[in-house]
Amino acid sequence: MREPFVLTNARIVTEDRVVTGSLVVRDGLVEAVDEGPSRTRSAIDLEGDWLLPGLVELHTDNLERQFTPRPGVRWPADAAMLTHDAQVAAAGITTVCDAICVGFYGGKSERLEYLNLSIEVLRRAQRAGALKAEHFLHLRLELTDPHMLELFEPLRDEPSLRLVSLMDHTPGQRQWRDLDRLRGFHLGREVKDEAEFQAMVARRIEEQRTYVERHRAAVLRLLDGHRAVRASHDDTTEAHVAEASACGCAIAEFPTTLEAARAARAAGMSIVMGAPNLVIGGSHSGNVAAAELVEHGLLDVFSSDYVPASLLQAAFLLREGFGIPMPDAIAPVTRIPADLLGLGDRGRIAPGARADLVRVREIGVTPTVLAVWREGWRIA
């Protein structure tokens, strides 16, 4: 039985306004949001800090980074999972979709090793009740991989599967349309010289011709009637977006050009960009800047991608850098991603919503998480 509690003297960010006042939590839910200080003697004084809904993450590679903290290092799997969970909770993330690759592309062959391992450690941690945040699966399907389909089929009915993205990392298009960037990424890693690089490019192009259409059709059959939301990845052209829309994709994940983002908006797709892109002032891959999409009204959701703390930073940058009101600034990291996943019980502070909450204080220009609650339980 959870004891009710009151948080007071907070700037509470609801869906449409900021309430300077108090919040009552009972049985893991928000019971009331009230103006002004609470008279409850046991109320927890937040000293004027922000109180936000728990953040909702659609795509993070952070678990993968814990498996391999340095090149060539393999960390114990269960420890990696618990470290990842602790890091996302400390960043204010209470609901997270762990992005796991099904199939791989050149330079990322270790991801095949992580596929089943990631799911096994997630299951073990869930059974043990050891996780702070609530975790779902985001399976990233590399359509060019010859073995993708046989890897994905047994995972289709995973209970925690909520998001599936369709990827094609063929050289010369999408993320790797600039072959010089691709060359710089691979030389010295998977290939030792230009001849090996050219052979890899030729092989990947042939694999695209052989497998992509066949795999896309098979995946769509497997997903027919499935609750998992579909996303496209790294769309670059209007044709890419049209193809994704025809596949039933509701999300355009990391469009690489303004053209693709505009096409996604016209197709009714929600647009996800990496929060690190906004925090560091642009794409490290040379693609369209998140700030440019914000300026054009073409951004719906942020993903922390490879830096969990960037999710909160991006929301505050929307407020400080673009003059966006706080309720609208936090929506891309709370309410909107929750609604995209069909999780209408969270991502907002309102009576009856889950008491997933984050206490935030601004230290200089940096929003800092001081406390996190999930369903009324303190987790960080």
Range of the domain at 203: 53-345
34 in a structural domain: no
* Closest of 12, 8, 110 to residue 61, by C-alpha: 110
What's the pLDDT tens digit per position in 212-233? Answer: 899 999 999 999 999 999 999 9
- 59: tokens are 């795509």
What's the pLDDT tens digit per position in 68-83? Answer: 888 778 899 999 999 9
Give the least confident one: 169-173, 241-245, 246-250.
169-173
In three-state secondary structure terms, 39 is coil
| Mean pLDDT, residues 249-269 | 97
| Mean pLDDT, residues 154-168 | 94
Give the least confident one: 36-50, 103-117, 270-284, 345-359.
103-117
| Mean pLDDT, residues 9-13 | 98
pLDDT(176) > 70: no
pLDDT(109) > 90: no
6 in a structural domain: no
**pLDDT score of 189:** 60
19 in a structural domain: no
**pLDDT score of 154:** 92
What distance lies between CA 167 and its chain's CA centroid?
Answer: 16
How many CB atoms within 10 Å of residue 208?
18
String of DSSP letters for 130-172: --SSEEEEEEEEETT-TTHHHHHGGGTT-TTEEEEEEE---TT
Containing 79, the helix (H) or strand (E) segment is helix 77-90
92 in a structural domain: yes
Give yes or no for a contact between 13 and 325, defined as CB atoms under 8 angstroms apart. Answer: no
What's the pLDDT tens digit per position in 312-348? Answer: 999 999 999 999 999 999 999 999 999 999 999 999 9
Q: Which burial class, exposed, middle or buried, applies to 297 when counting CB atoms under 10 A from its CB (0-12, 13-18, 19+)? A: exposed
The domain spanning residue 131 has which CATH number?
3.20.20.140
358 in a structural domain: no
pLDDT band at 177 (very low <50, low <70, confident <90, very high): low
| Residue type, position 107, single letter | G
Q: At what angle do helices 110-127 and 77-90 cross, to 10 degrees?
A: 70
**Residues in Cβ contact with 343 at an 8 Å cutoff, skipping those fewer than 6 apart:** 56, 95
| Mean pLDDT, residues 242-252 | 97
Give yes or no for a contact between 95 and 314, defined as CB atoms under 8 angstroms apart. Answer: no
| Mean pLDDT, residues 21-50 | 97
**pLDDT score of 168:** 86
319 in a structural domain: yes
**DSSP code of 125?**
H
Give the least confident one: 36-45, 100-109, 290-299, 325-334.
100-109
H helices of 174-193, where?
A: 179-186
250 in a structural domain: yes
**pLDDT score of 122:** 93
CA 251, CA 270: separation in Å to the nearest integer? 5
Give yes or no for a contact between 372 and 94, defined as CB atoms under 8 angstroms apart. Answer: yes
**pLDDT score of 163:** 98
pLDDT band at 286 (very low <50, low <70, confident <90, very high): confident
pLDDT(243) > 90: yes
Mean of the per-residue pLDDT values for the chain?
91
End-to-end CA distance of the chain: 20
| Mean pLDDT, residues 245-268 | 97
pLDDT band at 203 (very low <50, low <70, confident <90, very high): confident
Phi and psi angles of residue 251, each rounded to the nearest 5 degrees, phi first: -125, 135
In three-state secondary structure terms, 242 is helix
Residue 274 β-bridge partners? 303
What's the pLDDT tens digit per position in 38-63? Answer: 999 999 999 999 999 999 999 999 99
Number of domains in the chain: 1
CA 109, CA 316: separation in Å to the nearest integer? 36
Could you give the percent of the chain with pLDDT greater than 70?
91
Give yes or no for a contact between 242 and 183, defined as CB atoms under 8 angstroms apart. Answer: no
**pLDDT score of 170:** 65
CA 26, CA 320: separation in Å to the nearest integer? 33
pLDDT(107) > 50: no
Give yes or no for a contact between 165 and 148, defined as CB atoms under 8 angstroms apart. Answer: no
* Closest of 141, 137, 160 to residue 150, by C-alpha: 141
145 in a structural domain: yes
CA 338, CA 168: separation in Å to the nearest integer? 26
